Amino acid sequence: MKFKYSLLPLVFLGLTACDVNNDLEPIVEPVAEVVPLNSNGLDLSNYISVGASFTAGFTDNALFIAAQENSFPNILSQKFGLTGGGNFPQPLMSDNVGGLLFGGTLIQGPRLYFNGTGPASLASLGAVPSTDVTTPVTGDVNNYGIPGAKSYHFVAPGYGNLSAVPLGQANPYFARFSSGATATVLGDAVTRQPTFFSLSEIGGNDVLGYALSGGTGMSQEGNLNPATYGPADITDTNVFANVMNNMVTALTSNGAKGVVGNLPYITTLAHFTTVPYNPLDPTADTDAGEQLAAQIPLLNNVYGAINQVYAGAGQPERSIVFSADTSNALVIFDEDARDLTMAITNTLAASPTFVPFVESLGLPAAAAPLVAQLLGQQYGKARSATSSDLFVLPSSSIIGTVNQDAAAALITQSGGLLPATLAGQFSAHGVTLPLADKWVLTPQEQDAIRIATDAYNGTIKTLADANGLAFVDFNKVLQEGATSGLKFDRYILTTDLVTGGLVSLDGVHLTARGYALMANKFLEAIDETYGSNFSAATDGLAKADDYPTNYSPSLR
């Protein structure tokens, strides 16, 4: 062991005895080749964007200055500006709070921010909007992105009529900068004489209202009169096709070139995929978990008799069973389910075990027929949720809570026989009270959205091809974001809420980084159709790190 280090002095001597140059040659970093932009003759001097909330830059459930500056059309205009593009004035809001006033009265609340656990309104931090619809935007406007606009709204006279805003008959965002009380969005946009235009997400709101409402509206297929539609209805595909054709014809009438984007399947967005179908966990170390665990014997007693009716009707898949060991599915109302109200009422009333059950609830035996009737009404169109059902994001705030209106109704229907405590126990959202239609998108409702979206997209692609316009398959892009994720520089963006980086805190609209990626997809499509080179040119595309995924609550 004494020879362990004996070679070290020899090595040291050997190194110092040689005449060695210990200065390392500097590493020369390769100079990136500068690739100049080439628009290949495209006239980008007057770019006009037409669309709905995505075009406006709507994010975190609001429109505000920073979001507008990071809108995908504004990003496009900045790239166009490197190769002959002109100014791109937008109808900027008055602040970074978001929300709207009308004559000093709040009509839309502030934007959302991330409070460390989830989305919350800036109103909770005392923020108040300062953008008043009655104060008009002055000067030219190139971004005709109108949040909330359905396809037929773009050609509807008076959609920007200021006096009609309080009546819900006009759009407050368009009312800020429309040219007059009878103006149309399309007419105002065409008046700006675009040399190049983008037409995006036309038709998105024609299905989004239906989806956000949990499918409470209806498909208006076959009805060609939009004036008779409800706000949550799906637009007739022929109405959409006619409007879209008129828009493309008008925007290309002076020879303008353009790029058109189709519609995503909105049900792949976080607003519809964040809330699981089976969130009722009795093993959770929370008050809610403990309360649910304690109620499981009673729940299975009640549902056991009802499940027999479901099975007897040949629908055992509707059975509602609670497990003490795992997360349980929600109980939902399904408007398309076979109505078994009378079967449940009659079966329970005839069961010899039902009277003792009613008495175990502290009610007299004479109340059995009434209780059977109430349970029949409550569960006649109920079923257990499955992984095929989707739940709108706001449902997360009410699941498991007592619906006080439903409890009061039970008390009234029972003639005061049901005590308040018992009525409350049978009125817990998604547990004992089937979750209402407005919170759930069933497979049938999802199909209605998909069918309409496919038809709209077919029209969009046909018109783009027929008019030689660039085309962006935004549907394909968002589906990739919802599955494998979208590579954007050093990031992989997904549609997951908060953490995905693509979709903002409202679960529907994009983040600034998401809009930058969208802008790049438009630029790539423009290259493919018109021979420009944004995709290859130096700084021809937006960079992910230049755009945030969340805005600070201090940004006002």
233 burial via Cβ count (<10 Å: 0-12, 13-18, 19+): buried
Supply the pLDDT for residue 32: 72
Q: What digits encode the pLDDT tens for the residues 8-36? A: 232 323 333 344 444 556 666 676 789 99
Whether 436 and 331 have beta carbons less than 8 Å apart is answered as no
Asked whether residue 457 carries a pLDDT value surpassing 60, the answer given is yes
* Two structure tokens written together for 249: 């014809």
Residue 551 lies in a domain: no
Do both 452 and 414 map to the same domain?
Answer: no
Residue 41 lies in a domain: no
Residue 278 lies in a domain: no
Domain final residue, candidates 385, 408, 441: 441
Q: What digits encode the pLDDT tens for the residues 486-503? A: 999 999 999 999 999 999
Do both 235 and 245 map to the same domain?
Answer: yes
Whether 381 and 335 have beta carbons less than 8 Å apart is answered as yes
Do both 171 and 320 map to the same domain?
Answer: no
Of 215-224, 285-294, 485-494, the least confident:
285-294
Residue 31 lies in a domain: no
3-state SS, residue 169 = coil
Supply the pLDDT for residue 23: 57
Supply the pLDDT for residue 9: 32
Whether 60 and 118 have beta carbons less than 8 Å apart is answered as no
Average pLDDT over residues 442-451: 98
3-state secondary structure 260-300: EECCCCHHHCHHHHCCCCCCECCCCCCHHHHHHHHHHHHHH
Residue 34 lies in a domain: no
Q: Rounded to two decimals, what is the model's pTM?
A: 0.92
Do both 89 and 175 map to the same domain?
Answer: yes
Do both 229 and 247 map to the same domain?
Answer: yes
Q: Half-sphere exposure of residue 335, counting CA atoms within 13 Å on the CB side?
A: 15
Do both 319 and 431 map to the same domain?
Answer: yes
Supply the pLDDT for residue 221: 98
Residue 209 lies in a domain: yes
Supply the pLDDT for residue 33: 86
Share of the chain above pLDDT 70, in %: 94
Domain final residue, candidates 396, 419, 441: 441
d(CA 494, CA 240): 30
Residue 87 lies in a domain: yes
Do both 215 and 230 map to the same domain?
Answer: yes
Share of the chain above pLDDT 90, in %: 94
For position 212, which CATH number holds?
A: 3.40.50.1110
Residue 478 lies in a domain: yes
d(CA 271, CA 300): 31
Do both 112 and 250 map to the same domain?
Answer: yes
Supply the pLDDT for residue 504: 98
Supply the pLDDT for residue 29: 67
d(CA 500, CA 486): 10
Answer left, alpha or beta for residue 348, where phi above 0 means left and psi between -120 and 50 means alpha: alpha
Supply the pLDDT for residue 477: 97
Number of structural domains found in the chain: 2
Q: What digits encode the pLDDT tens for the residues 108-162? A: 999 999 999 999 999 999 999 999 999 999 999 999 999 999 999 999 999 999 9
Q: Half-sphere exposure of residue 140, counting CA atoms within 13 Å on the CB side?
A: 14
Do both 193 and 75 map to the same domain?
Answer: yes
Q: What digits encode the pLDDT tens for the residues 350-394? A: 999 999 999 999 999 999 999 999 999 999 999 999 999 999 999
The confidence band for 465, taking pLDDT boundaries of 50, 70 and 90, is very high
DSSP output for 54-119: HHHT-BTTB--HHHHHTSHHHHHHHHHGGGT---------S-SS--EEETTEEEEPPPEEE-SSSE
d(CA 83, CA 287): 61
**Closest-CA residue to 396 (of 290, 482, 288, 500):** 288
Do both 494 and 419 map to the same domain?
Answer: no
Q: Half-sphere exposure of residue 430, counting CA atoms within 13 Å on the CB side?
A: 24
Residues in contact with 151: Cβ distance below 8 Å, sequence separation at least 6, in sequence order: 202, 203, 205, 206, 235, 239, 240, 243, 244, 456
Do both 186 and 255 map to the same domain?
Answer: yes
Domain extent at residue 497: 47-273+442-546
Domain final residue, candidates 404, 423, 441: 441
Do both 178 and 193 map to the same domain?
Answer: yes
